[in-house]
Structure 1
Amino acid sequence: MIRLLLFVVTNLSVISLLCIIAFFTGIQTNNIIYLIISGFLFGFGGAFISLLLSKKIALFSIGSNIIRNPQNKSEIWLLKVLKKQSIQLNIKTPDLTIYHSHSINAFATGPRKDSSLIAISTGLLNKMNKNEIKAVIAHEMTHIANGDMITMTLIQGVVNTFVIFLSRGIAYLLSNLGPNNNSSESILQKTGAAYLILTIFLEIIFGTIASFITMWFSRRREFYADAGSAKIVGVKNMIAALEKMQYNPCSLEIPKTLSTFCINGQKNSIVSLFMSHPPLHVRIQALYNRTYM
């Protein structure tokens, strides 16, 4: 309910801001309506389509299948852990898949709490003990219980709407600066090369800036997922799992589209603002300090 309320309020704020910008920039009514509709449809449409297809995309990306009938003791044990933690968190037991990778990693995805997937790498199963594996699973289960996937989609949808609206609106205004341009021409008629190039260029610029927001939220939710895991399996076990990852850095085997859902995020040596995960030592210190408990 709270998430839905925030969603409605956020979107009303977005629409209000867009209308104010349109009023002061002088964009015609038919143009502003087009920009709002196209921004909303493309911005949220793309985000929600990705969410709906997230499980299939994940399975295809890692070349794995859902474990329907466990074939060995390890798979039987993992399914029991998932079921037990699902009961603790009062959510439906997620589907499980195991994918081949030397990297210690796991991620959760899915369109809804009752239709989610947890993927675990063979590297994690081979290099962690049972308590550490339980901690990693609890981390991913907390992501699901907190609704992080849908919240991330809503934020991405709002961000996408801003990016599309601003890039097309500014491109429209700049393409009208020339002496031979007809300022009364609608955006629907603006199909020239200048408008197209400006739109693409601005979408890249604004999209890069907007990623600061999504990555900031991604980093914040990792702390809460760590804390949720600590409550389920104990602080010591979660710290031990994170410490194990410090000596086994995440490889590039996970696609970028799934990196924000991994427990072990890829580092970005250029700018920390683009990191989807906080540094492991910072997450460990937060657990020691009980900051997000």
Structure 2
Amino acid sequence: MARRIFFFILTNIMVLLTIGIVLSLLSVLTGFEWYLADGQINLVSLLIFSAVVGFTGALMSLAMSRWMAKKMMGVRVLDPDQPLSPRERKIVEKVHRLSRAAGLTHMPEVGIYQSPEVNAFATGPTKKRSLVAVSTGLLETMDDEAVEGVLAHEVAHIANGDMVTMTLLQGVINTFVVFFSRIIAFAASRLVKEDLQPIVHFVAIIVFQLLFSILGSIVVMAYSRHREFHADRGGADLAGKDKMVHALRCLKAYVNRVDNSQQALQTLKINNQRSWFKLFASHPDLDERIRRLEAK
């Protein structure tokens, strides 16, 4: 669900901004910029510089994704070798069974976090170091078949390698974010007095890098919506189409019980298809997901 994308994008923006601030401060302090020559931008050097920074930020975000999710959500990892409640052991067994069916050789970590929302997510840097986490709200709201459908969907994300492909896409977007933010910052710095140019250049880089990162997330969200349909089909293959459809219908019933503002925040699903906010939705419309899955 939406948590996987939210944590990845948030971490990416934070990492990219941190790298940008550090490098910009170094350039201000040393008076040296890697992509400038004789006071002019070398576009080839800037593009190489941008790609190194962009992919470094994306890869660092991927590496931190599982740790970040645990810390921010307070996920309690369920160790199958330790005493667990019957409900907890059932969740671990379901995830492991579905993972083996998906061809995974290393079992994901399984965790539960305290939250009334109906949610679950899968994250992690590789298939060998992945995490599937579910909320207590989901376990208390959905029946066993719906829970299995949700877990199958999350395991399918891991088996499909969606976090890795998302990272490669984010690396490309980061490259252009860094590239264009520095071109605009360079142009803006030339509009002020020479003694103010380093400060204007530094501030402009941070502002435009943040702005372009937010705009770039639209592309990531569009890719995420596309991959959700694949994860639905993968979940149907693992748990059975009936359970996957049942899980989506249960989620829809939950969404319909909450008001529109809660719905937008908790599921990032936008009902108003004319709203530009739908560009930032990580998941497609539930009715469309159900329709496509039933037609499978």
How far apart are residue 248 of structure 1 and its match? 1.9
Q: Tell me which of 250, 265, 268 is aligned to 2:267.
A: 265
1:177-224 deviations in Å (ceiling 9; x for gaps): 56x66xxxxxxx995233233323332332232122101001111111
Q: Does 1:84 align with 2:90?
A: no
List alignment gaps of at least 5 residues for structure 2: 1-34, 260-264
* C-alpha separation in 1, matches of 2:280 and 2:41: 36
DSSP 3-state at the match of 1:53: helix
Aligned residues: 245
Q: Does 1:230 align with 2:236?
A: yes
Stretch moving more, 77-86 or 210-219: 77-86
Question: Where is the helix percentage greater, Structure 1 or Structure 2?
Answer: 2
How does the TM-score come out when normalised to structure 1? 0.76
Q: Does 1:200 align with 2:206?
A: yes
* C-alpha separation in 2, matches of 1:205 and 1:87: 42
Q: Are the equivalent residues in 1 in contact too, given 2:166–2:220 (CA < 8 A)?
A: yes
How far apart are residue 108 of structure 1 and its match? 0.3
How far apart are residue 98 of structure 1 and its match? 0.7
How far apart are residue 228 of structure 1 and its match? 0.6
Q: Percent identity, aligned pairs only? A: 38
Stretch moving more, 41-50 or 194-203: 194-203
Amino acid of the structure 1 residue aligned with 2:78: I
| RMSD after superposition | 2.6
1:234-269 deviations in Å (ceiling 9; x for gaps): 222111111111122389xxxxxxx9xxxx832356
Match of 2:132 in 1: 118
Q: Are the equivalent residues in 2 in contact too, given 1:103–1:248 (CA < 8 A)?
A: no
How far apart are residue 160 of structure 1 and its match? 0.8
Amino acid of the structure 2 residue aligned with 1:162: F
List alignment gaps of at least 5 residues for structure 1: 1-21, 182-188, 252-258
Amino acid of the structure 2 residue aligned with 1:74: R
How far apart are residue 36 of structure 1 and its match? 3.0
DSSP 3-state at the match of 2:110: strand
Match of 1:59 in 2: 70
* C-alpha separation in 1, matches of 2:178 and 2:102: 38
How does the TM-score come out when normalised to structure 2? 0.75
* C-alpha separation in 2, matches of 1:278 and 1:141: 19
Match of 2:253 in 1: 247
Q: Are the equivalent residues in 1 in contact too, given 2:177–2:209 (CA < 8 A)?
A: yes
Amino acid of the structure 2 residue aligned with 1:110: G
